[in-house]
Amino acid sequence: MAERVCFYFDPICPWCYQTSRWMRRLEELGVIELDWGLFSLERQNAGKESGDQAASHAHSARGLRTAVAVRNAAGRSAVGAFYKALGRRVHEQGQTLDEPATVEGALADAGLDPGLCAAAWADPSTAEEVASEHRHLCEQTRSFGVPTIVLDGGTGPVIFGPVLSEPPNDDDAVELWKHVSWLVRYPNFAELKRARLASPDLESVRRREAARGATAPSVPNRNPR
């Protein structure tokens, strides 16, 4: 029987997007069933960042608020379809996340009403719902970044990660899930971490590194973006 898992995302994060591709493949293989939750790196890092970093995280607001409107209009599974389409446009095609046209295009790609973008932005309650969901997750689970995965349909053990540079092949995908889910349920386990060996092969990452003049993978931290 497939295990139900809640996957919390912020659409700005390329590593989160790569992990979501792994999780989607697990669902296609019948290993898990996915639910979707919202996480705001902008709120998580408020007061801790400045300049370009803070501005970058603020770019997620339109996408997150639209995800609330999608959930209210079409149900929780539609959030996954919207995030998949938005992630493809932003991270694979290099479109700008905070542009209304990007979000509207992703809605259309997912078979949803493009007008949900403008409706979400005009409705203050969508911002309040993002903030409330983020706050609840962090207070209840001490989550600090994305991806955050919660077992048992969103009520069970919680883990930050795994942070993946590329989605694995099918055999490795299933094997990785066996190890990750076992560790999440093992009560003595607290943390594993190592330096990132490679950046994701995504247009969004290439553009960001070019803008920064970077030639090497980012230094690891607790809030991938």
**Average pLDDT in the 200-217 region?**
81
Which residue, 68, 65, 63, 67, is CA-closest to 12? Answer: 63
Mean of the per-residue pLDDT values of the chain: 91
- Spatial separation of the C-alpha atoms in residues 167 and 200, rounded to whole Å: 9
Q: Is the pLDDT of residue 51 over 70?
A: no
- Spatial separation of the C-alpha atoms in residues 47 and 76, rounded to whole Å: 31
Q: Is the pLDDT of residue 35 over 50?
A: yes
Contacts of 46 (CB under 8 A, 6+ apart): none
Name which of 13-22, 34-43, 134-143, 160-169 the model is least confident about: 134-143
Work out the percent of the chain whose per-residue pLDDT is above 90.
80
- Spatial separation of the C-alpha atoms in residues 182 and 77, rounded to whole Å: 26
Q: Which residue has the higher pLDDT, 19 or 221?
A: 19
Question: How is residue 85 annotated by DSSP?
Answer: H
Domains and CATH numbers, the chain: 3-212 (3.40.30.10)
* HSE-up (13 A, CA, CB side) for residue 196: 20
Report CA Rg, the chain: 17
